[in-house]
Amino acid sequence: MFAIKEDNNIIVRFPKCKSIDDIYRQIITPDLKDEEIVYKKIFDEFKSNPNIQLKRKLIGPSEDIFYYECMGDEVELYWDIDYGLVPIRCSSKNVDYIFSVINNVLND
């Protein structure tokens, strides 16, 4: 698995996804165990990183959405129990920093 930047989004690619279009269309196999492990690692890294502050969260029956602030702009981490890790939304100010954090998590 690896991360790519597309505009101000960071997309974690898993071997089961054939293309970026698959991710956006959420054509993902139902087994999301690997994605959930990565999501939890990213969540833990965001939680422990002093440069990334949690501002608000929405916990629903089928999704968890966390809004963080990093470098003065918002970052959105979104987990859906049906579709897995949704592309991480950033801004032009913080996308490079968040991309670096995500790559460190993936390479651990």
- List, for residues 29-50, the tens digit of each pLDDT value: 445 677 888 899 999 999 999 9
Angstrom CA distances, 11 to 8, 20, 50, 61, 104, stand at: 10, 8, 23, 24, 14
d(CA 52, CA 6): 21
Pick the CATH number of 2-107 from 3.30.160.690, 2.40.50.140, 3.40.50.300, 3.40.190.10: 3.30.160.690
State the pLDDT at residue 28: 42
d(CA 102, CA 94): 12
State the pLDDT at residue 16: 56
Q: Model-level pTM?
A: 0.79
Q: State the DSSP H helix or E strand holding residue 65, giving kind and residue range, or none if neither.
A: strand 63-70
State the pLDDT at residue 32: 67
pLDDT under 50: residue ranges of the chain = 25-30
Taken in order 81, 101, 41, 75, the sign of the CA dihedral is negative
State the pLDDT at residue 4: 83
State the pLDDT at residue 84: 85
Q: Domain extents for the chain? A: 2-107
